[in-house]
Amino acid sequence: MQSLQRILPGLAGIALALGLNAAAQADETCASPYMAKITGQEDFVYVWTLGVEGLGDEQDKLVTVDVNPKSKQYGKVIASLSVGGRNEAHHADFTDDRRFLWAGGLDTNKIFVFDVHSDPSKPKLTRTITTFVADSGGVVGPHSFYALPGRMMITGLSNNKDHGGQTALVEYSNEGEYIATHWMPTDANLQGAVKTGQYADGYNYDVRALPRLNALFTSSFTGWNNYMMDFGKMLQDPQAMQRFGNTAVVWDLQARQPKKVFDVPGAPLELRCAWKPEHKYCFTTTALTSKIWLIHQDGKGEWQAKAVADIGNPKDVPLPVDISISNDDSRLWVNTFMDGKTRLFDISDAFHPKQIFEKTIGAQVNMVSSSWDGKRLYYTSSLLANWDKKGKDDEQYLKLFHWDGKQLKQQFAIDFTQEKLGRAHQMRFGAYSLYSSLAMR
């Protein structure tokens, strides 16, 4: 993995300069097309939050923030539901009917299911799935939750044999019953997929679908051994730095069959797919090589993958993390953890993205969530418990900005450390109007 060997010294230098205590994410426009969406004003933001030892009750929790500007509680925390212990809270998403929010813990492998429709202002924990590893046949680290009709598709990051990166997709019913495990293609078992480059590493991270093209896409990251390791220690460990994914896979959506494995070197993370029916592509960004990649269908209907733009200066390893595509496929927001910046790219020509704006959100930034109309951008700060910065740069927040087409203007900020809540990670939206309309169906 020559690309990682080249950037290892740069990453280590960044870690030392910023004093990291460890060697080293979503929104309506990034939601499943099968899922009911909030296209107007959202009332709430649910923040899946990591517990911090010595802070508050020290537990992971789902934090509810009132974000309706007409409310007297606008910009305030109105509910906080702790789930017990620290599980490495990470990603969460709704079932296709949006009545339940599934949230995972990357360390304990627990999945927490919240009722968000009975009272959207005060979610209730209705089920905890503790059998994920046994159900799946050894998958570890439930990461992305992605709604399919009546089902939840979950990406795993690791396995219980060597806690490395080889892993699978795991499928459950909306009721929480295990359905199937779909292992990622590897050199040892391509499972019928075509290997187009050097790698078939079997790693996984995110999942997205283009149902109109019967296509499912997965990206790749790293296993438990790395994501639970101290960031500084990991950066100094050449073997650990070899244990990052370098692939993206295109699957047959209906058959759950891997079709093509592409080389996408440098840990491709979030996947975001085009909304317009004439657009046949998805974007991802590589954390370690700082590039935007396009996975697209060519004129012959074949899927291809191509690096199409740099993010900042790749030599500085800004560490791209979350991304958000606009509902008209014209813009892509890209967050970079190391410099705390959000960047906006014009992607009206998907093969030639151009940066048109950037702003520093904080000392560190991770997730970005956009309202459907693109006018409101929410940001949170935490990457992983052992990968966040330390000292004064360990900022933990939820921030809302308004976008007027030219500038981001901050509306409010909540200091999650000051509020003794923990490390703010994933965001999802809630609205009274959505559940009122669903109840009438």
CB atoms within 10 A of CB 277: 9
Q: What is the pLDDT of residues 281-335, one digit of tens each?
A: 999 999 999 999 999 999 999 999 999 999 999 999 999 999 999 999 999 999 9
Evaluate if residue 219 carries a pLDDT over 50. Answer: yes
pLDDT bracket for residue 439 (50, 70, 90): low
The number of domains in the chain is 1
- Give the model confidence (pLDDT) of 122-145 as tens digits: 999 999 999 999 999 999 999 999
What pTM value is reported for the model? 0.94
Domain CATH number, residue 138:
2.130.10.10
Give the whole-angstrom CA distance, residue 82 versus residue 63: 9
Query: What average pLDDT score do residues 157-181 get?
Result: 98
CB 76 within 8 A of CB 121: no
The answer to whether residue 81 scores a pLDDT higher than 60 is: yes
Please give the residue range of the domain that contains residue 153: 2-439
Return the DSSP state at 184. Answer: P
The set of long-range contacts for 179-185, using a CB threshold of 8 Å and a minimum separation of 24, is 179/151, 180/256, 181/136, 181/137, 181/139, 182/251, 182/256, 182/258, 184/218, 184/249, 184/258, 185/249, 185/258, 185/261
24-38 b/e (C-beta count within 10 Å ≥ 16 → b): bbbbbbbbbebbbbb
| Residue 14 pLDDT class (50, 70, 90 cuts) | very low
